[in-house]
Structure 1
């Protein structure tokens, strides 16, 4: 899956691969070469390429996924208390049935930033109504309800605009 996201003057690409071989082929491929060649003219800073560990995911393709019209995305970052890293990891893994019960959440990824106590959720919706239903749903209620116990600070929730996607 490839999604290009725009947030103010920050752009991000969220790619997923079946394995490391596919990731490496992509990073050494034509798209990456073109980005790096044009980066000095297009970007204020050099691209930062990071690797996330996908803990769990829910993937149910949206009909007409090649068309990004109306597709919205959320990005949530959370920082676990050092003694609660395992509990946050377990919480995210155990959230899958709750997400699967939401027909308006076709793509949901729980990720971990290796070597840190930072986690994230990246999810996609067919429209704002789906996004709003998810934010008002059981996963969000459970996470925000346990934030004081598990997290350092409040979850950082941001709605992002998708400008291109390949699923």
Structure 2
């Protein structure tokens, strides 16, 4: 079951777009180790705007993810890579479709 999600919007510093894209690609290996993260997507909206959308079974799993490896890496590299603080939105999931899961 999936009940909650995160939508994180990231704005790359000028000239750091490729580094942000690579950072997000490399984060996949960290997220794969998180049992509570049911689905995770790294996104690029335009040349300098990136995002992450992920879903969780409950708020405990969401909070574990936020304090986990990707969150720590964002905090460590954020000032270098991003022009503004990440915009983190907590969302409730109303319905979903994932392989092997049902509402």
Scaled by the length of structure 1, what TM-score is found? Answer: 0.56
Question: Structure 1 CA distance, aligned partners of 2:95 and 2:38?
Answer: 17
Q: Which one has more relative contact order, counting CA pairs under 8 Å at least 6 apart?
A: 2
Given the alignment, which residue of 80, 102, 113 partners 2:34? 102
Q: How many residues align?
A: 98
Give the structure 2 partner of residue 135 of structure 1. Answer: 66
What secondary structure, in the 3-state scheme, does the structure 1 residue paired with 2:15 have?
Answer: helix
* Distance apart, 1:163 and its partner CA: 1.4
Query: Is there any run of 5+ residues in structure 2 with no aligned partner, and where?
Result: 99-103
Question: Structure 2 CA distance, aligned partners of 1:96 and 1:141?
Answer: 14
* Contact 1:87 1:150 survives alignment (8 Å): yes
Question: Structure 2 CA distance, aligned partners of 1:98 and 1:82?
Answer: 26
Deviations 1:70-98 (Å, cap 9, x if unpaired)? x1000000000121000000000011110
Query: Is there any run of 5+ residues in structure 1 with no aligned partner, and where?
Result: 1-64
Given the alignment, which residue of 1, 12, 21 partners 1:89? 21
* Distance apart, 1:166 and its partner CA: 2.3
- Shift >4 Å, 4+ stretches: none
* Contact 1:76 1:157 survives alignment (8 Å): yes
* Contact 1:79 1:118 survives alignment (8 Å): yes
